[in-house]
Amino acid sequence: MEAMLMERISFVVTLAAFATFAADAGVLSNGDWSPSGCGGRPEAPVIDSTSADAFNRSIKMINTWQKQIQTYHDCMVREANADAATINRAATTEQAKINEASEKLNADANAARNKLDSSSTRRPVSGPPMGPGMNPGY
């Protein structure tokens, strides 16, 4: 029951953190990420080799496209890095809150156990003391 409550709290807090940063966030859909503030990815031009003039026009379009794709690329990298940093901050904050809640709960349980163990009118409480909190192992 307590684990389910912690999972729900975690989900709500994480959702709120992502909503806070949604204006700068990319779009994640079915495992595919795309930037939201860079416009569409420029389409590569088709090289026309039907004549020298057509080919030269194609080269001009390629040069224009290369500038556009570089701008898109730079924007996409900035947005991806910002999203990764935001996710990392949100996850780290959530992990700290979970650890804090777990440590407090374990401390409260140990205090209650110690109180019951020291009481002469109660029988001793079985079981080992509770640990310091979450240990994610990473």
pLDDT in tens, 75-103: 999 999 999 999 999 999 999 999 999 99
User: How many Cβ atoms sit within 10 Å of the Cβ of residue 108?
Assistant: 11
pLDDT in tens, 7-16: 665 555 455 5
Q: How confident is the model at residue 53 (pLDDT cuts 50, 70, 90)?
A: very high
The one-character DSSP state at 91 is: H
The residue type at 75: C
At 23, list the tokens.
């204006």
Predicted model pTM: 0.60
Residues 10 and 15: their CA atoms lie apart, in Å, by 8
At 19, list the tokens.
């909503």
Between CA 17 and CA 24, with CA 19 as vertex, the angle to 5 degrees is: 100
